[in-house]
Chain A
């Protein structure tokens, strides 16, 4: 009787202290990998690698930060699971390459992935996100407010005596004074992703594509300032559509 009582107490104590007794579903995490064509770009070589864009300018990268949000997985029954939070990536900080949504457990199944470049109109609320405010990630109110989607700073023509800075910043597009156009992009992959245990979805970004497709970018013409330049903002939005590829799926 004494042993049974002890066991009963132990069992009840353990169950009482454990808040989560649900059946565990596979957890999904994301890892972003960054390249310039075939060369990996990371926190170690970000500021020491010289790359060449499609227009032929030699470039040194100084700073590369970007925002993605609304990660969604849709299964074959057309059920969509939207992960909370957003991902602010700074290539100078390797820890930011990974994204582990707080609520990231989903049923096993076959899914396709979609996410938003930047914030969509609903989410791009001026000053609403303290962590992004603290990172000075805001987009000026006079340009529509909200947040940067991309800050890519560097020098071009570094192989000449006429090197110049560029500031390839992307966010809401200003049409005219007081008139703005949303400028986010929906990134969707058709490749099915089988998830039946904890999974890491790798996403590869080819930074070179920002200057390549469909608009060959001439930094000699469009270097800075680009934030108030409507045409430049829309060209960036077009080029962003081809920078991501689905990478390795590991379980």
Chain B
């Protein structure tokens, strides 16, 4: 009797403390996907942001990758996400403006895609108007000049009638009924695996290699408030994202043909502000700026050195605007460029997990 009582108590306590009483087994349980987080990121940064309603799975990531490279998402079967986000360009477009299914070009340069799970404000596009990667992924499919569909219905129909996709969605999400939300979830899962953390500078930070004197001097210029002063917006050795993911007017124009964040927020104080891009992988992501106006890194550095344009919303960190910029010497500019190129990661653009097989 005593033993029975203790056993009953034990069972009741265990049951009372358990929040789940699931008895049904799923037909197929997707395998959790473990992000390969670079050691430096794990040491220096807070954990990546993975939405609780879209945890990464092996099946979800595989499906997202397939969708990312599949022309089926475009209205005429000629373009995919990867058409304007090319792996060899760190998932950006070497063209100033991308061409979708029409001959009409876009108005902004395609943003590179990497380390997106560390964009903690979770705002995407140059003006930050999409909250969450899943919402971001919904837009290009129905943009007239990108993948060109009038709506998601025909895309969902194509995928639902596809020979293989219903099964793949079943495995990834437990349902073979394909919706735009699930497509976006799968693509977002793949995009969150696009991690770049193996540049020359990362190896330097890990104590594996040394920088050249020129690269080291370039870092000093980058970190000096009285020289480049790049670090307030573009990270530093302790923030290996090399961006603050915030919105700034970096003095490109005195008047704005593109209001950027201001168009989204409706706040005139935000006019001309765009999200700081990461300085990783600059070797592969030309042209530069939201409108791709600069073809080379030299042009970018010259802009900050002598080309700043004043306006009502110019960031106050553009401290030398009255002199046109930070006035770097020719040697400083060359050194700064040499340092910036150490942030490029050749293993990222050649990673077989990120390339269409």
Query: Quick check: is B231 within 8 A (CB to CB) of the other chain?
Result: yes
Q: Which of A98-106, A131-139, A189-197 contacts B (4 or more CB under 8 A)?
A: A131-139
Chain B residues in the interface with A (C-beta under 8 A): 5, 8-9, 12-13, 16-17, 43-46, 118, 120, 220, 223-226, 229, 231-233, 235-239, 241, 244, 269, 315-319, 321-322
A10-50 vs B, CB cutoff 8 Å, 1 = contact: the mask equals 00111011000000000000000000000000000001100
A151, closest chain B residue (CB) = B232
Which listed residue (B223, B316, B321) contacts A154, Cβ 8 A? B316
A154, closest chain B residue (CB) = B316
List chain B residues, Cβ under 8 A from A153: 315-317
A5, closest chain B residue (CB) = B5
Q: Which of A69-77, A112-120, A161-169, A209-217 contacts B (4 or more CB under 8 A)?
A: A161-169
Known contacts A16-B17, A62-B315, A166-B316, A134 near B229 by CB under 8 Å: no
List chain A residues, Cβ under 8 A from B235: 136
Known contacts A133-B44, A141-B237, A165-B321, A227 near B225 by CB under 8 Å: yes
CA of A133 to CA of B225, assembled, Å? 18
Which listed residue (A130, A165, A228) contacts B317, Cβ 8 A? A165
- B316 close to A167 (CB less than 8 A): yes
Interface size class of A (residues with CB under 8 A): 35 or more
Query: Quick check: is A225 within 8 A (CB to CB) of the other chain?
Result: yes
CB distance from B30 to the nearest CB of A (A): 29
- B225 close to A169 (CB less than 8 A): yes
Query: Chain A CB within 10 Å — which of B13, B16, B225 has the most?
Result: B225
Q: Which of A119-164 contact B (CB under 8 A)?
A: 126-127, 130-131, 133-136, 138, 140-142, 151, 153-155, 164
Known contacts A13-B13, A48-B269, A140-B231, A133 near B239 by CB under 8 Å: yes
CA of A163 to CA of B319, assembled, Å? 11
CA of A165 to CA of B44, assembled, Å? 31
Which listed residue (A126, A127, A225) contacts B229, Cβ 8 A? A225
- A142 close to B224 (CB less than 8 A): yes
A13, closest chain B residue (CB) = B16
CA of A135 to CA of B44, assembled, Å? 11
CA of A23 to CA of B13, assembled, Å? 24
Known contacts A141-B223, A227-B225, A130 near B316 by CB under 8 Å: no
A145, closest chain B residue (CB) = B238
B17, closest chain A residue (CB) = A17
- B315 close to A136 (CB less than 8 A): no
- A62 close to B16 (CB less than 8 A): no
The main secondary structure of chain A at its interface with chain B is mixed
Query: Quick check: is A182 within 8 A (CB to CB) of the other chain?
Result: no
CA of A136 to CA of B242, assembled, Å? 9
Known contacts A48-B269, A166-B316, A225 near B225 by CB under 8 Å: yes
- A16 close to B16 (CB less than 8 A): yes
- B317 close to A9 (CB less than 8 A): no
Known contacts A48-B269, A141-B223, A133 near B238 by CB under 8 Å: yes
- B317 close to A167 (CB less than 8 A): yes
CB distance from A20 to the nearest CB of B (A): 15
Which listed residue (A63, A131, A134, A224) contacts B319, Cβ 8 A? A224
CA of A164 to CA of B315, assembled, Å? 11
- A136 close to B225 (CB less than 8 A): no
- B238 close to A155 (CB less than 8 A): no
B12, closest chain A residue (CB) = A9
CA of A168 to CA of B17, assembled, Å? 53
20 pairs across A/B with beta carbons < 8 Å? Answer: A5-B5, A9-B8, A9-B12, A16-B13, A17-B16, A48-B269, A130-B43, A133-B45, A134-B239, A134-B241, A135-B244, A136-B232, A140-B225, A142-B224, A153-B317, A165-B317, A167-B319, A224-B225, A225-B319, A226-B225
List chain A residues, Cβ under 8 A from B317: 153, 165, 167
7 extra interface residue pairs, beta carbon distance < 8 Å, beyond A138-B236, A167-B316: A16-B16, A16-B17, A48-B269, A127-B43, A142-B224, A165-B317, A167-B319
- B319 close to A165 (CB less than 8 A): yes
CB distance from B316 to the nearest CB of A (A): 4
CB distance from A73 to the nearest CB of B (A): 29
List chain B residues, Cβ under 8 A from A63: 316
CA of A173 to CA of B237, assembled, Å? 20
List chain A residues, Cβ under 8 A from B269: 47-48
CB distance from A62 to the nearest CB of B (A): 4
